[in-house]
Amino acid sequence: MNPFLYHIPTKVYFGENQLHHLGEELAKFGKRVLLTYGGGSIKKNGLYDTILKEIQAANLEVYELSGIAPNPRIESVRAGAAICKEKQIDVILAVGGGSTLDASKFMAAGAYVDHDPWEFFSKNAPIEKAVPLVTVLTLSATGSEMDCGGVVSNLETQDKLGRLATPLLPKVSFLDPTITYTVSPYQTACGTADILSHIFEVYFTTEKDLYMLDCFMEGMIKTVLRYTPIAMKDPTNYEARANLMWTSSWAINGFVNGGKEHDWSCHPMEHELSAIYDITHGLGLAILTPRWLEYCLDETTLPKYVQFGVNVFGIDDTLEPMTIAREAIKRLSDFFFNTLQLDDTFTKVGIKAEDIPLMARKACGGGTLEGFKPLNQKDIEAIFTKCI
């Protein structure tokens, strides 16, 4: 185990009716609020009206930026940063899933710089300051509500790039599971694939583990395996939505990391799929994950698969280790493609074999992803090819 720093000071209001605290929390940062949201789901389900009432009751001035797309575009970030500067925004209120939250983080940082916000990604431009961010989460998936990262797409350059910076961490996040009642079964499934991948990126490691964190991660994996089918069949099941929501935050808020230093694997690969094909992040991860696990399976990595198979799926621990490992991958594939009904190949989602070399080269930046098993361009091409 390596030494580590854990510091996630986001204040979380969890549960039904917590939005009553929204006005008082926003007012702590000032009077002028920029409300950001996506393509309109919050208008359809009534959340927009609830939020405006809270803002008005607190006598705040509100400006709006809507239309933030899934796989959020740099154009939205530029527009938001410009509003922050022009209206001297005191606090950004992001209401949505990961796309709205991520875009808002870079609007917040963009408000304090003179250069194009894309330079945060293309040139690693410093992020030293950001407008305070308050979030109302509407979809359980990315953990953006409790982490300091975000991912933004640039369609011109066909790049989808991520960035972490402490000033981007939300100050306050509202997590009301009832807000996710209107999330479709498909987006619920994709959200779960994302949550699972955030855990797997850390859990599947050859670095030394903290036993306590492994148990915690196995508990979170079992939680999502148990509650996602329930939420898909019965969207207003509070218990299911609440379990998914709190797991989404804890899967990626830094807690489970325990000082591990290795790279993530499926995420850099998936970002290249969404960069070119604009597919849903969780769907891309679901297609990749079982193939990545198959590819990484060897004598060195085997013990982790056995641990996973026995502790998560309850596979008989007296079987041959390789049999347990293969069975664990099979059960995970069954979960993604049969239980969650997600598409299982690149072909089904329109990804073409001819783009594999380019996507593979970009995923590893021409070098190696030093993850569970080191992956260079050729390895990634092989994994992508298994997905066709």
Report which residue's Cβ sits closest to Zn ion.
194
Q: Quick one: 100 or 247, whose CB is closer to ligand NZQ?
A: 100
Residue 309 partner contact from Zn ion, ligand NZQ, none using kind-dependent CB cut-offs of 5 to 8 Å? none
On the CB side of 197, CA atoms within 13 Å amount to: 31
264 vs 82: CA distance, rounded Å: 33
> Are 266 and 283 in contact, with CB atoms under 8 Å apart?
no
Per-residue contact flags (x/-) with Zn ion for residues 332 to 361, judged by CB under 5 A:
------------------------------
Residues 280-339 that bind ligand NZQ (CB under 6 A): 281-282
If one counts every other C-beta atom within 10 angstroms of the C-beta of residue 162, the result is: 14
What is the residue type of 93? Answer: L
Q: DSSP character for 170? A: -
Q: How far is the CB of 150 from Zn ion (least distance, A)?
A: 11
If one counts every other C-beta atom within 10 angstroms of the C-beta of residue 106, the result is: 28
- Asked whether position 201 contacts Zn ion by CB under 5 A, the answer is no
Per-residue contact flags (x/-) with ligand NZQ for residues 235 to 274, judged by CB under 6 A:
-----------------x--------------x-------
Choices 4-12, 18-26, 180-188, 357-365; region in contact with ligand NZQ by CB under 6 A:
180-188
- Asked whether position 180 contacts ligand NZQ by CB under 6 A, the answer is yes
- Asked whether position 194 contacts Zn ion by CB under 5 A, the answer is yes
198 vs 375: CA distance, rounded Å: 18
Q: How far is the CB of 139 from ligand NZQ (least distance, A)?
A: 4
Q: Quick one: 41 or 311, whose CB is closer to ligand NZQ?
A: 41
- Asked whether position 145 contacts ligand NZQ by CB under 6 A, the answer is no
Convert 124-159 to b/e letters by CB count within 10 Å (16 or more is b): ebebeebbbbbbbbbbbbbbbbbbbbbbbbbeeeeb
Q: What is the dihedral of CA 382, 330, 270, 38, to 10 degrees?
A: 160
Q: Quick one: 54 or 194, whose CB is closer to Zn ion?
A: 194
- Asked whether position 36 contacts ligand NZQ by CB under 6 A, the answer is no
Bridge partners of residue 300, in order along the sequence: none
Residue 205 partner contact from Zn ion, ligand NZQ, none using kind-dependent CB cut-offs of 5 to 8 Å? none
In 251-364, which residue ranges form alpha helices assigned H by DSSP? Answer: 266-277, 281-296, 302-313, 321-334, 346-349, 356-363
Which residues contribute to the site for Zn ion (CB under 5 A)? 194
